[in-house]
Structure 1
Amino acid sequence: MKERESVAERLEAAALNGMTMAVWADVQPNKAAVIDPDGATRSFAEVNANANRLVRLMRKAGLKAGDGVALVMSNRHEFLEIQSATLRAGFRITPVNWHLTAEEVAYILNDCEAQALFGEARIATVAPAAAQAPNLRLKIAVGGGLDGFTNYDQALAGLDPSDIDDPVLGNQMLYTSGTTGRPKGVFRPTPVVTPQAMYAMRGYDAHSVQLCAGPAYHAAPLAFDVRAAMGAGATLVFLDKWDSEHTLRTIAERKVTHMHLVPIMFQRLLALPAEVKAKYDVSSVRYIVHGAAPCPPEVKYAMIEWFGPVLSEYYAGSEGGAGFMINSEEWLKKPGSVGKKPELLGSKILDEAGNECPPNVSGTIYHQLPPGGGFTYYKDEKKTQASRVGDYFTMGDMGYFDEDGYLFLTGRSAETIISGGVNIYPQEIDNELIKHEAVADSATVGVPHDEWGEQVKAVILLKPGYEPSSLLADEILAFARDSLPSFKVPRSLDFVTELPRSEAGKIQRGKVRAPYWEGRARQI
């Protein structure tokens, strides 16, 4: 018991200077820290050694605490090593969605003021994006070679693997898009530190295995899978793409205990034939955390029946928030809720006039900022202030508290589309569609979809001289595919004779969307 307490104390201290991985490397050096999609493993000692080499590499290139580091890569062990390095050297890490276009990646590289870029060689946008980011001091290619980049393994060869003696806690800045089209960095001046007690509450122990089935660059898998495994000393198993049976096989073979999933993954697992589901033992699973999109109650009931009462649901955003959480037992008593109003930081529901709504009356959800102000949108004070009322901020979501203080979500801002748990911002799509020679105006909206929740639809007003036709619709959608990442490309297109705009000139998406949702409650 005394030894266990000593390790816990070391971990608590190490969390404050980013050296948690170093403690685990000392305590369990030969345990697998990460297992790549191809089955290759890296031990805690190996990950920690490369983290130290990376710090020395970046410092040699001139990086200092507070500087930005970007990575554009899929789920692989280098992600964990780079994350561990930035945490201990005071760098600010920005993982970038590798499905974005080269121009979008370049915008983020420049906006986050990245000094170093780690890019996966197989991702075609890495080199073109880097070419548009003149302030990069260091460009490292992962998993192969790229012109103008140094190979990852070669860059680390010969560098000292021993623990650095001057660790400084690093930070992160993730990007969330806004309705004006350009993504914005969510910057918190004070890094978030997860107490070790949190891992104990989630059931982590020396045998825990964490599955990361979603993209590690996304806020939720990064927090609940990557960072949780690092903090708890669990083995992290990476998947690089979703395959329902392969996921079950991995859970059974690796004896996975913890994972973060989104509801579309639940639906796809449940859709497997009964004989396939019966082939795999999932009894090792102790904790499934989910959020990012609403989960239909019947889907959640089925998952609890299959896996047991191991599901915990969260409600928060990249910006933070009060942090709603509800476990399976509590959810079964309040089906559809995302949790009870937290005691530490408050939340409230306001109507359009700014008055607080009584129980069971829906309004806009506002979350209390922590002492010191919480977050800002990087380089966008206007956007930062627009989201706030006093010391509260909103992510544009709608909902109500019931008489017992449980939050139920009823909608969200008219702009954001959530398809399969992914936020899609229609203005970005409109900005591309309007470039087509036949398009006079565009209003992209989310329409109902049984599997994805919502699907992207373009509603188009044509210029005079053009007539609606299926051929023209196909041409406009093909145009979109040339300029947008695949998940943002509309899946369908309708032509209209007018699009409603406000007196201020803003498209009224609610009116555009309404006919598609007639007779259906729009989920958030």
Structure 2
Amino acid sequence: MTPVVIVGDRIRTRDEEVERGARLAAAMHAAGVGAGDAVALLLRNDFAVLEANLAVRRLDAYGVPVNWHWHADEIGYVLRDCAPRLLIGHHDLLEAIEDRIPAGLTVVAIGGDPSRGWIDYDDWIASHESHSGAGTGLGSSMVYTSGTTGRPKAVRRLPASGEESAQRARVLAAIHDSAPGNVALVTGPLYHLFGQALMTATFGAGGSVVIMERFDPEACLALIERHRITHSALVPTLFVRLLRLPDAVKARYDLSSLRHVVHSGAPCAPEVKRAMLGWWGPVLHETYGSTETGVVTKIGPAEWLERPGSVGRPVLTGEVRIRGEDGDWAPAGTVGDVYLRIHGTPDFTFHGDPAKRAAVEYDGLITCGDIGWLDEEGYLFLCDRRVDMVISGGVNIYPAEIEAALLEHQAIGDCAVFGVPDAEYGETPVAFVEPVGAIDAGAVRAFLRGRLAGYKVPRHIVVTDRLPREETGKIMKRKLREQFLATEQVDG
């Protein structure tokens, strides 16, 4: 089968995409883009995301994917902060933030009218011959992630040596089981590295890529059957949406082509994972890492069933260690701060904040703010994030443990637990629950008392129709905390 890239009803061969990427590189070079320059990408899921990635690698430039769901002020901040040489975007997305685009920035638009003086993307590509340069390998990136407070922070991947690029490619291949002949389905937004990694790993290995323009659960099943999808990557919230389909709809589609599906980005409730394994078969592989470190651990379906809750062991040159409260490396079974790294791959920094970069490193490893422990065989189990941990009356309470207990309730579809100030105990946990059936706070509290120590049961339980989420499926606890504190909404 000739490798192809498919977006909606449009299809291009791999050779066509390589050629368009090379022409785009030539156009970028003519516009002054060189090694170390940033190119901002305000793009929906489209061929242009792949083409831009191919182009910046040829020039050893930085691709800066921008979350187009962000507020215009946030996008404007990113465009000022990364100081791009060029901005490429879909015309309507550019129109929505037009007054935030820095003066003098060259803008290339996909679609729309040319009245604003923006360069037409397709005409621009067609007007240039292929760039002859190949770059040094995987190239670099600058990815902005939303923090719990303040402006988005930029994780900048440093220029890589040839061996570092090769090692990074080997890691991606191990994570996504990349090989010629694979047919991968990209389900999430390509401004996020989770989807981009699957796309670039599959394309680079000579496989075919099917890109969903937006996720729809039944459309996902239809694409798996139609294109005989072998590989994919999904965040757990998409599992939940898939599982909510009627049984008749689930049974309508042939999913037997699936061989390897990665999930990451947020915790997956054990009952959700078991339900997906029962439906899709032993194809689910969980990974753990971050924008800063890249993916470091992986666990297959059989391993997970033996060790439910684990996010796996390090792949290839990966290393994971736990740092205890005394500041030293801790033995197996001890809860502490998780430090990890894939050795031999490109390093990173926080753009404009080297002090913050130094603060997250210890003994050559990086912490992402998670708390966890290792078993005797080196499998990692996560407890929670350091920033989410609640210290109530001097006792550590991990919201993730409470959330896992809440999700055992059949009438709770999802939940979020976090701490708020408390005059007596310093902090106290609050739970927001999203129901899928009839439920009340008193019943939830009684349910938890049968599963948790009394001090872990939230004093305040709020039932809400919808929990706010990022595109990756992560619940935005910061917004819930702000809402709770602003309204003092409590349940007696």
TM-score class, shorter-chain normalisation, is: 0.7 to 0.9
Partner-residue secondary structure (3-state), 2:483: strand
**Residues 152 and 202 of structure 1: is their aligned pair in 2 closer, same or farther, counting only changes over 3 Å?**
closer
Q: Which residue does 1:493 correspond to in 2?
A: 483
Q: C-alpha displacement at 1:64, in angstroms?
A: 1.3
**Residues 255 and 324 of structure 1: is their aligned pair in 2 closer, same or farther, counting only changes over 3 Å?**
same
> How far apart in 2 are the matches of 1:265 and 1:231?
26
1:450-475 Cα deviation digits (max 9, x unpaired): 589xxxxxxxxxxxxxxxxxxxxxxx
1:26-74 Cα deviation digits (max 9, x unpaired): xx8xx3532112x111212221221121111111111212111110011
Aligned mate of 2:205, from 217, 232, 238: 232
> How far apart in 1 are the matches of 2:487 and 2:13?
62
Aligned mate of 1:109, from 75, 79, 98: 79
Q: Which residue does 2:197 correspond to in 1?
A: 223
Q: Which residue does 2:43 correspond to in 1?
A: 73
Query: TM-score, normalised on structure 2?
Result: 0.75
Aligned residue type for 2:140:
N
**Residues 126 and 119 of structure 1: is their aligned pair in 2 closer, same or farther, counting only changes over 3 Å?**
farther
Please tell me whether the aligned partners of residues 218 and 245 of structure 2 are also in contact (alpha carbons under 8 angstroms).
yes
**Residues 447 and 53 of structure 1: is their aligned pair in 2 closer, same or farther, counting only changes over 3 Å?**
farther
**Residues 127 and 148 of structure 1: is their aligned pair in 2 closer, same or farther, counting only changes over 3 Å?**
farther
**Range that drifts further, 112-121 or 361-370:** 361-370
Aligned residue type for 2:37:
D
Q: Which runs of 5+ in 2 are unaligned?
A: 390-398, 404-415, 419-426, 437-474
Q: C-alpha displacement at 1:344, in angstroms?
A: 2.6
Instruction: Say whether residues 1:142 and 2:142 are aligned partners.
Output: no
Aligned mate of 2:4, from 14, 21, 33: 33
Q: Which residue does 2:122 correspond to in 1?
A: 153
**Residues 97 and 117 of structure 1: is their aligned pair in 2 closer, same or farther, counting only changes over 3 Å?**
same
Please tell me whether the aligned partners of residues 373 and 391 of structure 1 are also in contact (alpha carbons under 8 angstroms).
no
Matches within 5 A, 1:296-315: 296-315=269-288
**Residues 361 and 50 of structure 1: is their aligned pair in 2 closer, same or farther, counting only changes over 3 Å?**
same
Partner-residue secondary structure (3-state), 2:109: strand
**Range that drifts further, 82-91 or 170-179:** 170-179
Partner-residue secondary structure (3-state), 2:108: strand
> How far apart in 1 are the matches of 2:62 and 2:274?
40
Please tell me whether the aligned partners of residues 32 and 43 of structure 1 are also in contact (alpha carbons under 8 angstroms).
yes
1:59-93 Cα deviation digits (max 9, x unpaired): 11112121111100110111111111111121111
Q: C-alpha displacement at 1:250, in angstroms?
A: 1.0
Aligned mate of 2:352, from 379, 398, 408: 379
Please tell me whether the aligned partners of residues 196 and 231 of structure 1 are also in contact (alpha carbons under 8 angstroms).
no
Aligned residue type for 1:118:
I
> How far apart in 1 are the matches of 2:223 and 2:299?
26
> How far apart in 2 are the matches of 1:411 and 1:286?
30
Query: TM-score, normalised on structure 1?
Result: 0.71
**Residues 411 and 200 of structure 1: is their aligned pair in 2 closer, same or farther, counting only changes over 3 Å?**
closer
Q: C-alpha displacement at 1:345, in angstroms?
A: 3.6
Please tell me whether the aligned partners of residues 267 and 451 of structure 1 are also in contact (alpha carbons under 8 angstroms).
no
Aligned residue type for 2:483:
L
Q: Which residue does 1:171 correspond to in 2?
A: 140
Q: Which residue does 1:400 correspond to in 2?
A: 373
Q: Which residue does 1:185 correspond to in 2?
A: 154
Aligned mate of 2:331, from 349, 358, 361: 358
Matches within 5 A, 1:310-459: 310-320=283-293, 323-341=296-314, 344-368=317-341, 370=343, 374-414=347-387, 447-449=431-433
Q: C-alpha displacement at 1:308, in angstroms?
A: 1.5
Q: C-alpha displacement at 1:264, in angstroms?
A: 0.8
**Residues 95 and 40 of structure 1: is their aligned pair in 2 closer, same or farther, counting only changes over 3 Å?**
same
Please tell me whether the aligned partners of residues 171 and 315 of structure 2 are also in contact (alpha carbons under 8 angstroms).
no
Please tell me whether the aligned partners of residues 264 and 451 of structure 1 are also in contact (alpha carbons under 8 angstroms).
no
**Residues 377 and 257 of structure 1: is their aligned pair in 2 closer, same or farther, counting only changes over 3 Å?**
same
Instruction: Say whether residues 1:53 and 2:23 are aligned partners.
Output: yes
Partner-residue secondary structure (3-state), 1:298: helix
Q: Which residue does 1:473 correspond to in 2?
A: none
Q: C-alpha displacement at 1:392, in angstroms?
A: 2.3
> How far apart in 2 are the matches of 1:77 and 1:59?
20
Q: Which residue does 2:442 correspond to in 1?
A: none
Matches within 5 A, 1:211-290: 211-224=185-198, 226-290=199-263
Q: Which residue does 2:98 correspond to in 1?
A: 128
Q: Which residue does 2:268 correspond to in 1?
A: 295
Q: C-alpha displacement at 1:360, in angstroms?
A: 2.3
**Residues 385 and 178 of structure 1: is their aligned pair in 2 closer, same or farther, counting only changes over 3 Å?**
farther
**Residues 148 and 290 of structure 1: is their aligned pair in 2 closer, same or farther, counting only changes over 3 Å?**
same
**Residues 143 and 372 of structure 1: is their aligned pair in 2 closer, same or farther, counting only changes over 3 Å?**
closer
Please tell me whether the aligned partners of residues 350 and 357 of structure 2 are also in contact (alpha carbons under 8 angstroms).
yes
**Residues 367 and 355 of structure 1: is their aligned pair in 2 closer, same or farther, counting only changes over 3 Å?**
same
> How far apart in 2 are the matches of 1:51 and 1:256?
25
> How far apart in 1 are the matches of 2:175 and 2:73?
42
Q: Which residue does 1:432 correspond to in 2?
A: none
**Residues 415 and 198 of structure 1: is their aligned pair in 2 closer, same or farther, counting only changes over 3 Å?**
closer
Q: C-alpha displacement at 1:290, in angstroms?
A: 0.7
Q: C-alpha displacement at 1:221, in angstroms?
A: 0.8
Query: Aligned Cα RMSD in Å?
Result: 3.4
Q: Which runs of 5+ in 1 are unaligned?
A: 1-27, 427-442, 453-485, 499-511, 519-524
**Residues 81 and 377 of structure 1: is their aligned pair in 2 closer, same or farther, counting only changes over 3 Å?**
same
